[in-house]
Amino acid sequence: MEPRIQYAKTSDGVSIACAVFGDGPPLVFTGIAFGDVHVYASGVGAFKQVTDALVGLGWRFIMYDGRGMGSSDRGNTDFSLEARLRDLEAVIERTGVDRFAVCGILQGGAAAIAYAANHPGRVSHLVLAATYAKGADWFNLIPAARAIRALDTMAEEQWEYYSVAFANAATGFRDSDLANRLAAVFRSGTSASAFLSYLAASEKMDLTEMLPLVSVPTLVVNHSANPLSNLHLLRVLASRIPNARLVTTDDLVGTIDAFLREGAEPVPSRQELPSGTAIILFADIAD
C-alpha cells in the first residue's frame, strides 16, 4: 500500500512527514535514519514486509520520517534526544492517538525508551528490538557500526561508495544486490552530512539511567538475523527495565503481535468503554 503522507509540526517548528497504515490498536514506530516512510515506500528490504504483516494482523501502524530524513524538513539536523522526542510527540499529537504501543528499533530505541519512561499512562506496550541503552557501546561492539564510523572521513566525498559499504555491512554481507538497492534508498533518504550528524548524536546518547523508570510491559527482542542486533546490549535493557522480558527470535512479526495481544483486555474483541453520553459510577473504599 502506498503511504498517504501527512505532516506534523514539532514544537520547534520542524515539519515531520508521517503515515498511518491500517486500523486497530495503534503502534507508533519511532523514526530512525533515512526516514521510515521513505524506506517503507521504496519497498526495499524487510521493513515494508514487517509493517504490512502487522497491519494485516489488525494493528494500526504509525510511522514517520524523522527530521533531516525522507519527506520531512531536511534543513533541521538537530538529532539530539530532545529533538527526536519532539518529532515523536508531534506525530502522536497529529495522529490523535491516545494510548498506544511504542516500538523502537536500532537508533529509534532511545526515543522509545525516553517516551515510555515519561508517559507511562499513554504507552501500553514497549517493544525494543536490536537496540541498546548506550550508543557508545553499540558503536564499539557491532562491527558494522564500528566500521561505518571508521569511514566517516569518506562519507561526504564518496557518498555513494560509503552508502554501499554501509548497506552491505549493515545487512551482514549477505546479499549485495539487496544492499545496493538499499544504499540507493539511503542516499535519497538523507545527505551524507546529515547522516554523519545523526550517527554522532546517536553515539553520544546514553539511556542507561532511564531504564529503571520504564514501568510499562516491555519486550526486548534480539533479532537473530540482524547483524546489528547484539544480545549482550539487549540483556542490559531487559535486566534493567523492571517489567521487561527478552526474546531471541527471527520472527519479528509473530513475536511483536503475540506480545501486543497480551495484557488486560484481548485486543481484537473491543468491548471498550462507550463514548458519548454516559452515566458515571464512582466507587471508592470508605475510610
Partner 1 sequence: MEPRIQYAKTSDGVSIAYTVLGNGPPIMFMGPGFGDIHMYSSGVIPYASDRIVGVGRRVIMYDGRGTGSSERGNTDYSLEGRLRDLEAIIDRTGIDRFALWCMGQSGPTGIACAVKHPDRVSRLVLAATYAKGADWYKVIPALRSSRALETMAEELWEYHTLSLAHAVTGFRDSDLANRVAAVLRAGMSARAYLSIRDANEKVDVIDLLPLVTQPTLVLHLTASPLSNLDLLRVLASRIPNARLVSTAATAPVIDAFLREGEEQAANLPSALPSGTAIILFADIADSTALTERVGDAAFRAKARELGPALRTRVRECGGTPVEGPTLGDGVLAVFTSAREAIEAALRCGKAGDDAGLPLHLGLHAGDVTREGDPDGRDNVYGGAVNIAARISGLSAPGEVLVSDTVRSLARTSAGVRFEDRGEQALKGVGEPVRVWAVREAE
Q: Which stretch binds partner 1 (CB under 8 A): 50-58, 89-97, 110-118, 166-174?
A: 166-174
Position among 93, 175, 262, 265 found at the interface with partner 1 (CB under 8 A): 175
C-alpha cell at 11: 514544537
**Rounded to the nearest whole angstrom, what is the least distance from the CB of residue 156 to partner 1 in the complex?**
13
Answer yes or no: are the C-beta atoms of 83 and 69 closer than 8 Å.
Answer: no
Q: With 0-12 CB in 10 A as exposed, 13-18 as middle and 19+ as buried, what is 190?
A: buried
**Rounded to the nearest whole angstrom, what is the least distance from the CB of residue 144 to partner 1 in the complex?**
8
Position among 92, 169, 170, 199 found at the interface with partner 1 (CB under 8 A): 169
Binding mask 180-219 for partner 1 (x = CB under 8 A): x---------------------------------------
Q: Which stretch binds partner 1 (CB under 8 A): 8-16, 26-34, 78-86, 142-150?
A: 142-150
**SS3 letters across 70-119:** CCCCCCCCCCCHHHHHHHHHHHHHHHCCCCEEEEEEHHHHHHHHHHHHHC
Amino acid at 224: S
**Rounded to the nearest whole angstrom, what is the least distance from the CB of residue 53 to partner 1 in the complex?**
25
Signed CA dihedral, 233, 244, 212, 79: sign only: positive
Q: Which residues bind partner 1 (CB under 8 A)?
A: 143-144, 146-147, 150-151, 153-154, 158, 161-162, 164-165, 168-169, 173-177, 179-180
